Chains A and B, each alone.
Chain A
Amino acid sequence: MKKLIWVCLLLTTGFAGVAQKSRDRALTEYLRPAVFSLTMVMVHDVVNPPAASRYYAYVLLGAYDLVSQHNRSLIRPNAFVRNYPFGAAAGDTGYDYRIAAAWSILETGKVMLPSGFMLQEEEKKFLQLLKKEKWPQAVIDRSLAAGRKATDKVVAWSKGDHYSLLSAKLRYTPLKKDSTWYPTPPAYMEAVEPNWRIIRPMIVDSSDQFMPPPLAHFSTDTSSEFWRLAKEVYTLSKDTGERGAYEKTIAGFWDCNPFAIQTSGHMMIGNKKMSPGGHWMDIAAIAAGVKGLDFDHTVEAQTLVAVTLMDAFICCWDEKFRSNRVRPETFINRHMDARWQPYLQTPPFPEYTSGHSVISTASAEVLSYLLGPRLDYTDNTEQLWDIQPRSFHSFREAAEEAAISRLYGGIHYRDGVVSGQVQGKAIGEYIVKRLQGAGVQPLSLY
């Protein structure tokens, strides 16, 4: 009889275990599409790269704050994010904090994004998922309320980061020198976020803390370093052979241009893609899956990447609008070939340093710390845009490729890429140091 009871107990706990595992997996696996749904809203709204990084940071921080309240092994965000409001750890609250965290991701997106209302569809899908996994309604209700509270908290905190002051700032006027940035064809869009340096960073101290090495001095002298750099962009673009095709594939993979305009006579259409930050958020999710991380650590990994993106964009944009460097397209059209067009569309902001180089390198540093310097994964984030997946052996390898891709795309000089990597590495290493100092451990032993 006892045996029967034991067997029954085992079976029920087994079943319960299986059911619980199923729920765990469902929630964990939901994190990637949850963040991706926000990415899709940002694509719809044509959110620019720095602004996108800000949304990711707040959205994930709200969720991470909740998770770390319940999982004592996770470091509270106020330990490493400056001035993050403290909140006591929570006890047994009658809700599932993971549901609440996932819900807060969607809710924060709904509140902060201009077309956040589009997330109502996604929220419906999430609730259906919960029903399918047979969560009790009472738990669901309490969890959603807790998620909403987490959203309110992080949104309130976000209002202090000076974002609202941007619309009161002087708009950008291009300096009228041959060496300085000017809007580029076809749409000659105005400079994007010229005042982004005033945004409060999360971990680094100030926007100019990691100024890159100085850029090559502008010159129209054909024997100068700058001319050589520009010529390299032009020459690479002219390669129609196998090497050229390879380079263009890479450029297309890391294009990440939220709004590339295609014209035909009077008609203009905008082709939309996710931003560089969106790309790395998805890489973080892929890597967490490869590593088999549980829900809590997946949130942690994504949060730390998001926060890194935020700071990296602030530092990169600080330099861009200090050096105001002219883009290759403008220089080449004026001095080498009036009809030349880069393979990628030149984004609307100054050249030095390359945004992708900075943020990819910084993100790779942090991910390497968390998940190891070697990790084989396949990046299929761009499949929606008919771009074939690419496989990497490490985050740093991906970041290297992302950086050099900007030269292949014809939108950066080599020094803008290389200095961007230097800047990104310094930012990433600093963030890792601060995380270590706060007690954030790597998420896997390697």
Chain B
Amino acid sequence: MKYFIVLAMLLAGRASAQSPLFQLLPAKETGIHFSNDIAETEELNVLSYEYFYNGGGVAVGDINNDGLPDLFFTANSKPCKLFLNLGGLKFKDITHEAGMEGRPNSWKTGVTMADVNGDGLPDIYICYSGKNAAQRGNQLFINHGNLHFTEEAAAYGLNDSGYCTQAAFFDYDNDGDLDMFLLRHSVKKIDNMELASHRDEQDPLAGDKLFENAGGHFVDVSKKTGLRQSPLTYGLGIAIADINKDGWPDVYVTNDYNEPDYLYLNNHNGTFTDATASSFRHLAQFSMGVDIADINNDGLPDVLNLDMLPEDNRRQKSLQLQENYESFQLMTGQGLQEQYMRNMLQLNNGDGTFSEIGQLAGIFATDWSWCPLLADFDNDGNKDVFITNGYLRDYTNKDFLRYWGDYKIRKAMDREPVKLMDLVQAMPASMLKKYIFRNNGDLTFTNMQAQWGINQPAVSSGAVYADLDNDGDLDLVVNNINSEAFVYRNMSSEQGGASWLTVKLAGKGGNTAAIGAKVYAYAGGKVQYAEVNPARGYLGCVPAEAHFGFGATKTADSVIVVWPDQQRQKMEGVALNRKLVLKEERVEAQAPPMALKTVFSAAAPLIDYKPEGFGDNDFKRQLLMLFMYSRTGPVIASGDVNKDGREDLFISGDKKRPGMLYLQQAGGKFETTGAIVHEDSSTVAAAAFFDANGDGWPDLYIAKGGYSLWEPHTATLQDELWLNDTQGGLRRSEGMVPDLSANSKSCVRPCDYDGDGDIDLFVGGRVIPGQYPLTPESYLLTNDGKGHFTVTTTPFQHIGMVTDAQWIDLDGDGRKDLILCGEFMPVMVFLNTPNGFVDKTSAWFDGSQPGFWNTLTVADLDGDGKPDLIAGNMGQNCCVKFSGKEPGELYFADFDHNGSIDPFFNFYIQGVSYPFVSRDELNEQMYPMRKKFNSYKDYSNATMKDLFSKEELAAAGKLTVTQDRTMCWLNKGGHFVAVDLPVQAQFAPVTRVLAGDFDQDGHPDLLLLGNHSDNRLKIGSIDANYGCFLKGDGAGGFRYVPQPVSGLSVKGDVKSAVNLTVDGKKYLVIGASEGALQFYREK
């Protein structure tokens, strides 16, 4: 018997493990026969109308109020279709009876459903585009109930005949009726990027519009709203949400090509402000669809944009990627912001800024994508991601771009005509699998295509989720080009699934579905947040409901509804697994906002200094590097130069001004003096105050570095020692520092390592300009007591590309030991013994972990009296990832013997290590490679073994990285043990770490600062860190403190961060490579 029970359990377990979450229902079962068939002809194709392949949409709404959601599909050239939900997942095509085919011989685009006339029945609004003006003109089908519709767009003032993409109904002026935002697009891409002059033009057919509902008639109020209406708008996606949670709906509009997206924040007075630049550090380039929802359950709506980056190496290597630095600069110089070709997940920080973490999340590359949907598909309480993708013709293929010309010539030689259709059909076509990701609850997502049954290839466009069978889980419907629509049934409830709750709201006045209402569900110590806004995704709309999953929890502690008029309604002890229909009543008073006392508060600048951008492009010198090395400043060092008890600062300069001393005066002012190092002839990489010559006055050591066009063994790279003149100034010394000009440096750390009473120096070598990644020299400079330094031989003088060092007595023998870190180096420990320095890294760390380490900080974090260690690394928010199992590798040599080093990075993609370099860059770097690979296709699967012979690779230099995370280790006496840091620590490269009890609770905290923007365009700017404050618990555990609570909003690539006491108050001074110095008052 036991045997049978076990067997049964095994079988049951296997069955549920095997059956996927979604089941594709065939059309003959559902009755949903729909295919967006597009026929390419000589007259109508992608060359005559650029958006020919953009697909159609799906809208969901209960058109007959029978509790079953019905579906409407737009087809671009064929008739649209309306399907009535009969229950039991059976649908009836009622298009003809309802008269909903749409205008014949026209080009239909997006569709939305909303109760426009406030009679409780959802109406249907269809958008039109296409080159033929006579065939354009949007349609509004008013629902009269009993499946009867009449087209009345003209009567309502909504028959706009521009190039329309989609419309969204929402109450922008909070007056109780639904207004309409109309998203439109220009039909001609403008190639010229010097377009500042165009941006103020008003394009009557392409600019977006806003219509105010004035008593049932819609009036175009665009001109007074501040909307951008230039011919440069290519609106493809729209989502409505109250992004800044101020009670007024905002609008997010995506734009294709070089035009940035628009985040229109509602000003409450009928106007909007485009807040894109202040909110986002970078955007998706070819933005298509957009969804806005709270993906990390912190009550703040996040934004997901889509782009065209494929996941696999082969496709990536075949595409037109961004590698043109001049056109990128032209784009950013025109105020078009940084845009990169990949999906962007913008995490709302709650203070008006967003951190883009698509790469950390693992959802950044889903090929040519159209519609994102954020919803809880497995009802576990976290919103998952569904993305449609596909392209009918891959005309981004680089072989197609470069070699189409040959086809034309061949035809000419054969005296055959070249037909337009030949061009069109020569482009490769491909169907792709959609993507579905499960939210792991920790800002990362897992691809569940196989396990959840979403693995049917198609060319898809619009999609929606809806509970078609009212069983509590969200089904999916997808509009496909040239193939049947997908209807996926969600089997979560059938599989004995998790608890759920659907909230349907009945609003007041004309806003019968309470569009814009917010619903909060509290359960199991977590809060989930949703807005009732059907306008999201791509070309369609989702149900006007809020859906939540709760996993194993059986009841919700409470559900709070904030109605559009901001009245709050609270229910407690809410039973789950049902549809909760609420009417606006039982009003409660508005909860007052809590005043926050932040840990840091932004302060007015005490010093007015804004370093000018460097502008060097290091990739012009060494084409294949991943990161630039020129920008090291501003370098800030603190010391009491004039011994008046007040801390002074040295701040390095820029190309227009030299470095200077800032002497703190009484009352908190600073006086500048001196001219210390001109940045037009060398770069300050690091600086430190210390008493070099033992006269009791602090002197300044300046380490030179950078990259630019500097050459090794020239004065440019020679470090300088500036001696205190005891009058409040510094004087450059001569002959006290040996020749250190062999390479750029990274850090200078003073320490009396030999215990002879004078202060010595460790100076770390960073890189040899022009010869990356050859190992530079690092130096131990021994002081003779009078400020003369000589180089002492050590085992670490040629250890690697060092980025930072710290002197600390690790073994308690009274001698300061040296901890080092660097690029393609592990964090290393050298114990200072009477017989010299000894490498004890393997004793102190578990396994060598080479990474892109940037900074080291030592502090006692767990209060046991032993120094602990924090090391800033590259983080995990990058398109290149590496680990022990899948290391990143760098092979380098002068393979083509032309006097320059050829470095080749390799990273793992889908289990295989591929060279990072594209075919174009490869051919630029090594001309002989032009013969090796005849096409992009030939190169697309190449690995290092295909580029070089075994002998060449064996003779080449090789560096490895296996750890990308910023890490913290606790000192357990003779050994470091790693402790987990919150995921926010991995948002961006960490370049500075400050340790201290910033929140004054008796436990040391950590402040991680960083970002790095001067990278290869394929990597893009990594800038999700606005100041990561980790609150310590005193035992070595840390918790991320959200930005509105920490009070930090640090922008830019942080190069220096210094504590400073001014006028008795503690400040944090932060120097980022662009922008003015940032000041924060500490608690």
- State the A residues within 8 Å of B (CB): 40, 43-46, 114-117, 163-168, 170-174, 176, 182-183, 185-190, 259, 263-272, 330, 333-334, 338-339, 384-386
Q: Which of B189, B198, B405 contacts A272 (CB 8 A)?
A: B405
Contact A172 to B620, CB < 8 A, known contacts A183-B327, A333-B192: yes
The answer to whether B402 and A270 have CB atoms under 8 Å apart is yes
Contact A114 to B931, CB < 8 A, known contacts A265-B46, A266-B396: yes
Chain B residue numbers with a CB within 8 Å of A183 are 324, 326-327, 330
B190 to chain A, nearest CB (A): 8
A170 to B615, CA, bound (A): 15
The answer to whether B621 and A171 have CB atoms under 8 Å apart is yes
Chain A residue numbers with a CB within 8 Å of B899 are 165, 168
Contact A167 to B926, CB < 8 A, known contacts A265-B46, A266-B396, A333-B194: yes
A348 to chain B, nearest CB (A): 10
The answer to whether A167 and B927 have CB atoms under 8 Å apart is yes
A436 to B197, CA, bound (A): 58
A264 to B408, CA, bound (A): 17
The answer to whether B620 and A171 have CB atoms under 8 Å apart is yes
B840 to chain A, nearest CB (A): 41
Chain A residue numbers with a CB within 8 Å of B193 are 185, 188
With A164-B896, A269-B400, A385-B409 already in contact, 18 other A-B pairs whose C-beta atoms are closer than 8 Å: A43-B406, A164-B898, A165-B899, A171-B620, A171-B621, A182-B330, A183-B327, A263-B189, A266-B50, A266-B189, A267-B396, A270-B405, A271-B405, A272-B406, A272-B409, A333-B192, A338-B192, A386-B412
B902 to chain A, nearest CB (A): 9
The 8 lowest CB-CB distance pairs between A and B, nearest first, are A265-B50, A272-B405, A186-B191, A168-B900, A188-B327, A114-B930, A267-B395, A171-B620
A338 to B927, CA, bound (A): 38
A237 to chain B, nearest CB (A): 15
Contact A168 to B50, CB < 8 A, known contacts A114-B931, A272-B409, A384-B413: no
Residue among A45, A116, A186 facing the most chain B CB atoms (10 A cut-off):
A186
B155 touches A (CB below 8 Å): no
Closest residue to A272 on the B side, CB-wise?
A: B405
Chain B residue numbers with a CB within 8 Å of A40 are 409
B85 to chain A, nearest CB (A): 37
Chain B residue numbers with a CB within 8 Å of A166 are 927
Q: Which of A164, A174, A263 contacts B191 (CB 8 A)?
A: A263
Chain B residue numbers with a CB within 8 Å of A117 are 934
A199 to chain B, nearest CB (A): 13
Closest residue to A176 on the B side, CB-wise?
A: B615
Chain B residue numbers with a CB within 8 Å of A271 are 405, 408
Q: Which of B621, B897, B931 contacts A116 (CB 8 A)?
A: B931
Residue among A164, A168, A338 facing the most chain B CB atoms (10 A cut-off):
A168
Chain A residue numbers with a CB within 8 Å of B320 are 268
The answer to whether A338 and B195 have CB atoms under 8 Å apart is yes
CB pairs A–B below 8 angstroms (23 shown): A114-B930, A114-B934, A116-B931, A117-B934, A163-B927, A170-B709, A171-B619, A171-B623, A176-B615, A182-B330, A187-B327, A263-B189, A264-B50, A265-B50, A266-B50, A266-B189, A266-B286, A269-B400, A270-B404, A270-B405, A338-B198, A384-B409, A386-B412
Chain B residue numbers with a CB within 8 Å of A334 are 194
A36 to chain B, nearest CB (A): 11
B571 touches A (CB below 8 Å): no
The answer to whether A338 and B409 have CB atoms under 8 Å apart is no
B917 to chain A, nearest CB (A): 13
- State the B residues within 8 Å of A (CB): 46-47, 50-51, 189, 191-195, 197-198, 286, 320, 324, 326-327, 330, 395-396, 400-406, 408-409, 412-413, 423, 427, 615, 617, 619-621, 623, 709, 896-900, 924-927, 930-931, 934
A129 to B330, CA, bound (A): 54
Chain B residue numbers with a CB within 8 Å of A186 are 191-192
Closest residue to B395 on the A side, CB-wise?
A: A267
The answer to whether B934 and A115 have CB atoms under 8 Å apart is yes
Residue among A183, A266, A272 facing the most chain B CB atoms (10 A cut-off):
A266
Chain B residue numbers with a CB within 8 Å of A386 are 412
Q: Which of B192, B404, B621, B927 contacts A269 (CB 8 A)?
A: B404
A265 to B925, CA, bound (A): 30
The answer to whether A173 and B617 have CB atoms under 8 Å apart is yes
Chain A residue numbers with a CB within 8 Å of B621 are 170-171
Chain A residue numbers with a CB within 8 Å of B51 are 265
Chain B residue numbers with a CB within 8 Å of A116 are 931
Contact A269 to B46, CB < 8 A, known contacts A164-B896, A167-B925, A338-B197: no
Closest residue to A261 on the B side, CB-wise?
A: B401
A119 to B623, CA, bound (A): 32
Chain B residue numbers with a CB within 8 Å of A267 are 46-47, 395-396, 427
The answer to whether B400 and A167 have CB atoms under 8 Å apart is no
Contact A269 to B191, CB < 8 A, known contacts A114-B931, A166-B927: no
Contact A44 to B191, CB < 8 A, known contacts A114-B931, A164-B896: no
Closest residue to B231 on the A side, CB-wise?
A: A339
Chain B residue numbers with a CB within 8 Å of A272 are 405-406, 408-409
Residue among B51, B408, B619 facing the most chain A CB atoms (10 A cut-off):
B408
The answer to whether A269 and B423 have CB atoms under 8 Å apart is yes
B929 to chain A, nearest CB (A): 9
A265 to B330, CA, bound (A): 19
Chain B residue numbers with a CB within 8 Å of A259 are 405
A40 to B400, CA, bound (A): 18
A385 to B766, CA, bound (A): 55
Q: Which of A114, A164, A167 contacts B924 (CB 8 A)?
A: A167
A330 to B326, CA, bound (A): 14
A268 to B404, CA, bound (A): 10
The answer to whether B623 and A44 have CB atoms under 8 Å apart is no
Q: Which of A43, A330, A339 contacts B405 (CB 8 A)?
A: A43
A186 to B405, CA, bound (A): 17
Closest residue to B770 on the A side, CB-wise?
A: A170
The answer to whether A188 and B326 have CB atoms under 8 Å apart is yes
The answer to whether B192 and A264 have CB atoms under 8 Å apart is no
Closest residue to A265 on the B side, CB-wise?
A: B50
A230 to chain B, nearest CB (A): 15
Chain B residue numbers with a CB within 8 Å of A43 are 405-406, 409
Contact A265 to B402, CB < 8 A, known contacts A114-B931, A167-B898: no
B288 to chain A, nearest CB (A): 11
A337 to chain B, nearest CB (A): 10
The answer to whether B194 and A338 have CB atoms under 8 Å apart is yes
B918 to chain A, nearest CB (A): 14
B370 to chain A, nearest CB (A): 13
Contact A264 to B46, CB < 8 A, known contacts A44-B406, A165-B898, A188-B327: yes
Contact A174 to B326, CB < 8 A, known contacts A168-B898, A263-B191: yes
A177 to B189, CA, bound (A): 27
The answer to whether A190 and B423 have CB atoms under 8 Å apart is no
A237 to B1007, CA, bound (A): 61
A398 to B792, CA, bound (A): 72
Chain B residue numbers with a CB within 8 Å of A269 are 395, 400-401, 404-405, 423
Chain A residue numbers with a CB within 8 Å of B897 are 164
B76 to chain A, nearest CB (A): 15
Contact A264 to B47, CB < 8 A, known contacts A167-B927, A168-B899, A171-B620: yes
A330 to chain B, nearest CB (A): 8
Chain B residue numbers with a CB within 8 Å of A114 are 930-931, 934
The answer to whether B403 and A44 have CB atoms under 8 Å apart is yes
A63 to B455, CA, bound (A): 60
The answer to whether B620 and A173 have CB atoms under 8 Å apart is yes
Closest residue to B709 on the A side, CB-wise?
A: A170
B1066 to chain A, nearest CB (A): 41
A272 to B412, CA, bound (A): 12
The answer to whether A167 and B900 have CB atoms under 8 Å apart is yes
Closest residue to A183 on the B side, CB-wise?
A: B326
A265 to B404, CA, bound (A): 17
A131 to chain B, nearest CB (A): 23
B237 to chain A, nearest CB (A): 16
B18 to chain A, nearest CB (A): 40
